[in-house]
Structures are given as C-alpha cells and as structure tokens.
Structure 1
Amino acid sequence: MSTSFPAITAVRNVRPWGGEASDILIDGSEITQVVPATDAPIVETEVDGRGLLAIPGLVNTHAHVDKSWWGHPWQSYGGEGGTDGRIRHERARRDELGIPSVEITSAVLAEFVKTGTTEIRTHVDVDLGLGLRGIEAVREAVAAYDGALACEIIAFPQDGVLRRPGVLALLEDAAKAGVEHLGGLDPAGIDRDPVGQIDAILGLAAEYGTGVDIHLHDGGSLGAFQFDLIIDRTRTLGLQGKVNIAHGFAIVDQTPQRRAELLAQMAELDMTMTTVAPVRMTQFGLHEFDDAGVRFGFGTDGIRDLWSPYGTGDLMGIAWQYARGSGIVRDEDLLRVVQLATSAAAPFAGVAQNDLAAGSRADVVLIDAENPMDALVRTLPRERVIGGGKLLFTR
C-alpha cells in the first residue's frame, strides 16, 4: 500500500515562529533556505502560506499506533481496571477488532498527520500471541508515506518479560530485525523482578546497539528504586544517550532533594523522559528539568483503544494539557512548551534537526494564529501540514 503526496519546493509567505513574513525553500526532504517573503508568482510545487504562523512538525514521543479501535463503531469500556486488568481485557478482544493491522495503524497515522504530527516514536506490542506481526504492520503503514513521516519503533512487551517465558527471545528477534528500541513495563509491578527485567532488557540493548524505552508506572519509593536500577545499568553498560523512561510517575513523588539527585544522574547519562501529561497527576517541572539538563517529550499514549476511549491524536492538545496542568502562563514558558512539542523533541524520532532553518527536515505546520503561544492556548486547527517535503494535509 502506498499513498501519493505532492512534493513541495517552497512554503511561501509564512511567519516562522511568529516572526517576519518569509519563504521556506525546500529541496527533497530538507529545508535549504529561509528568506524574506517575495511577491513572485506561486507555482504548482509551492504552498501559499497566506501569512499564517509556521511551526516545525509536531513530535509524538510516546504513541501506540498499533492498537486503536479508530474507524470501528464505538467500543464501550469493559474489563477490569489497573494495568494487569487492562492487559487482560485487551488480549481478550484485540483479535475481534483486527488489532494490530495495517488498516488500524493507517487510521491512527492519518489522525496524527491532520493535527500536525510528522515525527513519531511508537511502542508496538510484542508478545507470544503476536510475535513481531505488529511491528511489520506498523512499518508497512509508515512506508506508505514514502519518507514523509519519521518513525522509530519500540518493541514493547506489554504483557511482561520474565513472567512470560519466550518474550525475551522475541525482543532479541526484534533487535536482530532492526527495531530501534527495546521496551519494558513496570519491572517491579508487572514482572515482580525489577533487577531481572532491567538487566535483561538493557543487556540486550547493549548487545545489539538499540535504544531502551521503559514504561514505569510504579510510584513512590518503589518507582524511585527502579529509577536507581535503570541509571546504574545505563552507566555500567555504556548506554549513555540511549535510555528513556516513559511516564516515570515516581519522579514527581520524591522530595525536591531526592528528585534533584535523580535528575542530575540522568542528565550525566543523557537519559530522557516522556510524558502524556496525565490530568490527575503532578506534571514534570518545566524549569526543574531544563535546569537539570534532562530532556523530555510529549506523547498521546493510546488513542481510542481498549484501555480508554479518550484521545484524539492531537499532540498539541497534550502540550496544552501539560501547560494548563502546570499553571504555565508566561510567554517564554508557553513558547518553551511548543518547542518541547516540536523542535526539541526531534531526537526522539531519530531526526537530527526539526526547525524552520536550513539543514532541517522539511516538516512545517501552518496555523491561523498570531504566534506559537496563541496556537498552543487555543489549540487551533492545523491549516496545512508538510512532512519530509511533501504536502500531507490541507484543511
């Protein structure tokens, strides 16, 4: 399956980051120049920006594109609560809904694209019932965009690692097949063996040169202990710059001194975090993380899946949720939140540079807004979306 998107050579008369009217010139998938806007006639391969705000493509750093029920009739919430209960419910119903499949993933990607996401890091379930079939489906759905979407995959053992004999071998198979990251889930809460799971996953990553991206929901001192273990193994195995902790709810439970100690160690090892900005929890401290030098990104998590009916796929909505939940109101902080949702998050998707500047990947989102702060607080519709130099969406 492939989709044809027109190649773009320029995005004319836009205001990058709310600045002066400019033309963004593109060669293939790269921005070559940003120059003052001209009044030359707009040709077929150029986009008329109509003076709109331009920001870089949004980066979804924590997605589950393999397992939504988007496109199906409404699915009522069922099963038991809690992580284990949701896992059991999903396993019972996923075959009935055709999860995973190229069609399901394609529907999710289409929602991402129309809201401006052009770069993605996604978890994809790997377990004894699926094998690597979900990874294959996601790769096929992404390939249909012919390079217009940047996407890295995490082989995600949703049902546990050590408690399901054979899953560790599947993760090794995924690493051999070229998956970019290996995942994990609550080493203590799910596998009941934090040392065992962390040693196993990070050991495989060190052996095969992959990244690591571990879901960690456990809070309090138990969660902090697992932070300690992951930090220690990252240092011992030489995985600097390759380890991410997703959710990491325990980080906000700690005393300021304990949190500062954890963040300092993570910064030393260039460890990162991702958050879905949960509405009922304390958010990561914007200045605290920036001052410590710990990068974090935003993600949509699952959208309309068997875990929850919520979610639209709009990463800007998650950034808004984070900003509102953090009480962020000053311009410089609102701008920083937009940067975290765009340019600053590029490495999470394996992109070297995602900005409105020469040398950047040609990912451009146009919004009818005064400036990035206005676009964030009003979560305005995306008017045009360009990914990898191709026009992906027009409102």
Structure 2
Amino acid sequence: MAVAIVRNVRPWGGAAADVVIDGTRIREVRPASPAAAGTDGESVDGRGLLALPGFVNAHAHVDKSWWGRPWVPYGGEPTTQGRIAHERAERGPLGLPSVDGATAVLREFLRHGTTATRTHVDVDLGVGLRGIEVVREAVDRLDGAVDVEIVAFPQDGVMRRPGVLDLLDAAAAAGAASIGGLDPAGIDRDPVAQLDGLFAIAERRGVGLDIHLHDRGELGAFQFELIIDRTLRAGLQGRVTISHGFALGELPEPRRLELLDRFAEAGISWATVAPPATAPLPWREMAARGIGIGLGTDGIRDLWSPFGDGDMLGIALGFARLHGARTDGDLTAAVALASAQASPFVHRDLHDLAAGAPADLVLLDAENVPDALVRGPRRALVIAGGRVVARDGDVLL
C-alpha cells in the first residue's frame, strides 16, 4: 500500500508528528495534526509509536545463506582459510548461491525494518558473476523494497587465484557499486599486488572499494597504511571502506590515534559487525574525526556461521555492549549508526526522518530509542520507499 501520510508518530522519541510522503520521499515532518486518525488507504495511524528511519545493513552477505533449507550443521576449520575451504567444498551440494536463499534473507531484513543494505557477493573462479545475478533476481522478487548495493567480493583471494581480478573488473563494468578485497597479506600474501590491482580497477571503473581485513596487530596496521597511501594517491577519498579491521582496537593508543588522523584525511570509513570476542573500536575518537562507521549482520545462516536473524537492532545492541555504552546518548548513537549515520554506505546523501529523505520508516512500541535498543520489540510497521512492506512482523510482499 502506498502511503501519503503517517500520522501521530514520535520521530526518534520526540514530540508527536505527522510524516508527509510524496511518492518515495518524505516531503515534510510537521507537528501532529488533530485530524482524525485511522487508515484510509493513504493515511496511516501511527498511534503515538516511536518512529525511526529504516535500518541500514552496511555489511551483509545475502548470497551465501541456506535460509529456508533444512538445518546445515557448522563444519570445517574455524579459521578464515578453513571457512573458505569449507564453503568452497559444500556450497555446490547446497545449491548456493540461490535466489530462494537470498530472497529469504532480504525478507528477514524487511521484517526487522532494514530497508537498505550493502551486500558483498562472492565473485570467484567457481561461480563467476552468477552470485550477482542471483542477488539481483532476489531484489526483483521483492519489487525493490530493499535497496541493495552490491560489492563484488573475492572471498577466495585475488592474486592467488589468477583470473579473479578480471572477474572483479567485469563486475564493476556490469554495475557493481564497489569491489572488495580480502586480507591482502594474510590470504594473498602479496599485499602490494592485491591493493595495486584493486585500486587500478576502482580508478578505471569509478567504483568504490570495501576491503575485508581480519589480520591482527601490526600486520593489520601495515595494511591500513598501504590502503591509506593508495586512497590518497588515487584521489579516492570518501570511496574506500575497511570491513572488520580488528587490528585497530588492538594497537597502542599513540599508534591508533596516528592512524585515525590518517584515516580521516583519506576519508576511509569503517564497517563492523561488533563480534563479542574482538577489541572495541575507538568509536568516539572516530566519530570526532568524521570517520564513518556502519554496522552490519555479516553472513546469516551460512557455511561460515549458523547465527543471525537479520535484526539490525540486535547488531546495534551488540555494538553497545562491546563498547560499554550505558548512557541514553550512547545507546541512541548506536541506533543511529544502524540507520541515519549509515547513509554513505548505500550512497544516500540523507537517510533520516526529514524532508528530502527516502520514505523509509520503522514504527516500534517503545518509550524511547534506548528502550527500543534494549528490548528489541517487534516492528509494528515498516515502510520502504513510501510503501507499507511489513506489519506486526509479517512481510506483506
């Protein structure tokens, strides 16, 4: 159902307001009108519920999921290389990547209020570009209700697999918004060659870069420096993201602060899934320097992990716990990282409850934003692009 106005909601827990929608965008947020509430096909009664912008999942892998199939036990070696090998051995028998699996995950995103996502999609010698085709078909099945930005991702390495750079170039030429990288030192063992190859494609095709970096300590820091140098040299400020980047929280403070200043200069952003066993990020110092931080689910029910339900409020809660957030301001900031503050990760200039923003809203029965974060109540209503797409936990598409 297309919506023209959502009456009587509390944006970010503030005063009651009406959100006026013009097509797929918010035209105005104004004080609540005394007009009779109710649903007339275009007007939705918000019943005084808390309103948030649609959530943004800044780091997903929707092509990998076996969601909708019988339970798949976790197996293989619990290392990055072990997970890669296990996935390569088992994805074929499971029929991965699959349109049904990707569609199921995107439906869970909608159920929980996520209306936009950046998803890494495997591009390798085994599947070629088929994963990208699968994800695009899943997006079409849902009539574009989830805005999906694709990162062509070399999960099996780059330089150690001759031909992968050509596939990444082809993916960029075919419309992928970004290309990815993976542990230039730890996986390829040739960080200079991997990064030179990736940055050359990004410059030639005008796409972004989003590089998975699991390597720890000084090995990770060394690769941070290589990425910073190449970003500045290529003029790609604002178009490069480091995903995971566990080393940042492990470094001594003087070294960490020096790197943060350089990240800010290079306009490099950060995507994290806030794993509980990792070192906290210096997120306040990052925010003070204007370094963008996005939260994501990573993979969901796939051959890397049996966990995940697509709920970005749950990810924001994990981030808050990992970083010792307690105050209302910090708890609200964690939710903003999963919504309004994540707009650059899906190439949106504005993603909020404000005039000109996409008409993406989530209504929850909560007293305020910290209450919503801590309790994670069911999403009472999800509006994406001006359409009601989910109600009381049921996806309507």
If the TM-score is normalised by the length of the shorter chain, which range does it land in?
Answer: over 0.9
Does structure 1 residue 156 correspond to structure 2 residue 153? yes
What amino acid is aligned across from residue 170 of structure 1 in structure 2? L
Provide the residue aligned with 1:362 in structure 2.
Answer: 359
- Note if contact 2:58-2:346 (Cα within 8 Å) is conserved in structure 1: yes
Q: What CA distance in whole angstroms lies between the structure 1 residues aligned with 2:383 and 2:283?
A: 29
Map 1:2-41; keep pairs closer than 5 Å: 6-41=1-36
Provide the residue aligned with 2:299 in structure 1.
Answer: 302
**2:357 match: secondary structure:** coil
- Note if contact 1:25-1:34 (Cα within 8 Å) is conserved in structure 2: yes
The offset of 1:124, in angstroms, is 0.1
**1:189 match: secondary structure:** coil
- Note if contact 2:106-2:146 (Cα within 8 Å) is conserved in structure 1: no
The offset of 1:374, in angstroms, is 0.9
**1:13 match: secondary structure:** strand
Provide the residue aligned with 1:282 in structure 2.
Answer: 279
Does structure 1 residue 373 correspond to structure 2 residue 360? no
> What is the CA deviation profile of residues 80-115 of structure 1, one whole-angstrom value per residue up to 9, with x for unaligned ones?
221111111111111222211211100000111111
Larger deviation, residues 90-99 vs 56-65 = 90-99
> What is the CA deviation profile of residues 157-214 of structure 1, one whole-angstrom value per residue up to 9, with x for unaligned ones?
0000000111110001001111100001100110010111011101110111000000
Larger deviation, residues 8-17 vs 283-292 = 283-292
Q: Percent identity among equivalent residues?
A: 58
Q: What CA distance in whole angstroms lies between the structure 1 residues aligned with 2:343 and 2:287?
A: 16
Q: What CA distance in whole angstroms lies between the structure 1 residues aligned with 2:112 and 2:260?
A: 32
The offset of 1:260, in angstroms, is 0.8
**1:318 aligned residue (306, 315, 318):** 315
Provide the residue aligned with 1:99 in structure 2.
Answer: 96
Provide the residue aligned with 1:391 in structure 2.
Answer: 388
**If the length of structure 1 is used for normalisation, what is the TM-score?**
0.97
The offset of 1:144, in angstroms, is 3.0
Q: What CA distance in whole angstroms lies between the structure 2 residues aligned with 1:40 and 1:60?
A: 36
**1:308 match: secondary structure:** coil
The offset of 1:286, in angstroms, is 2.7
The offset of 1:13, in angstroms, is 1.1
- Note if contact 1:148-1:389 (Cα within 8 Å) is conserved in structure 2: no
Q: What CA distance in whole angstroms lies between the structure 1 residues aligned with 2:381 and 2:46?
A: 8
The offset of 1:153, in angstroms, is 0.5
Does structure 1 residue 194 correspond to structure 2 residue 191? yes
- Note if contact 1:150-1:351 (Cα within 8 Å) is conserved in structure 2: no
> What is the CA deviation profile of residues 270-302 of structure 1, one whole-angstrom value per residue up to 9, with x for unaligned ones?
110000000111221231211222111100000
The offset of 1:378, in angstroms, is 1.4
Q: What CA distance in whole angstroms lies between the structure 2 residues aligned with 1:252 and 1:355?
A: 29
Q: What CA distance in whole angstroms lies between the structure 2 residues aligned with 1:233 and 1:303?
A: 32
Q: What CA distance in whole angstroms lies between the structure 2 residues aligned with 1:284 and 1:388?
A: 33
Provide the residue aligned with 2:75 in structure 1.
Answer: 78
**If the length of structure 2 is used for normalisation, what is the TM-score?**
0.96
**1:369 match: secondary structure:** coil
What amino acid is aligned across from residue 355 of structure 2 in structure 1? A
**2:211 match: secondary structure:** strand
**1:365 match: secondary structure:** strand
**2:250 aligned residue (235, 242, 253):** 253
- Note if contact 1:150-1:350 (Cα within 8 Å) is conserved in structure 2: no
Provide the residue aligned with 1:120 in structure 2.
Answer: 117
**2:210 match: secondary structure:** strand
In structure 2, runs of 5+ residues without a counterpart are 393-397
Aligned residue-pair number: 390
- Note if contact 2:17-2:31 (Cα within 8 Å) is conserved in structure 1: yes
The offset of 1:326, in angstroms, is 1.1
**2:168 match: secondary structure:** helix
Q: What CA distance in whole angstroms lies between the structure 2 residues aligned with 1:144 and 1:74?
A: 24
Q: What CA distance in whole angstroms lies between the structure 2 residues aligned with 1:87 and 1:286?
A: 30
Larger deviation, residues 91-100 vs 151-160 = 91-100
Map 1:348-359; keep pairs closer than 5 Å: 348-359=345-356
> What is the CA deviation profile of residues 111-138 of structure 1, one whole-angstrom value per residue up to 9, with x for unaligned ones?
1111110010000000011010000111
In structure 1, runs of 5+ residues without a counterpart are 1-5
> What is the CA deviation profile of residues 361-395 of structure 1, one whole-angstrom value per residue up to 9, with x for unaligned ones?
10100000011111111122211111111111001
Q: What CA distance in whole angstroms lies between the structure 2 residues aligned with 1:393 and 1:163?
A: 44
- Note if contact 1:147-1:388 (Cα within 8 Å) is conserved in structure 2: no
**1:199 match: secondary structure:** helix
Provide the residue aligned with 2:66 in structure 1.
Answer: 69
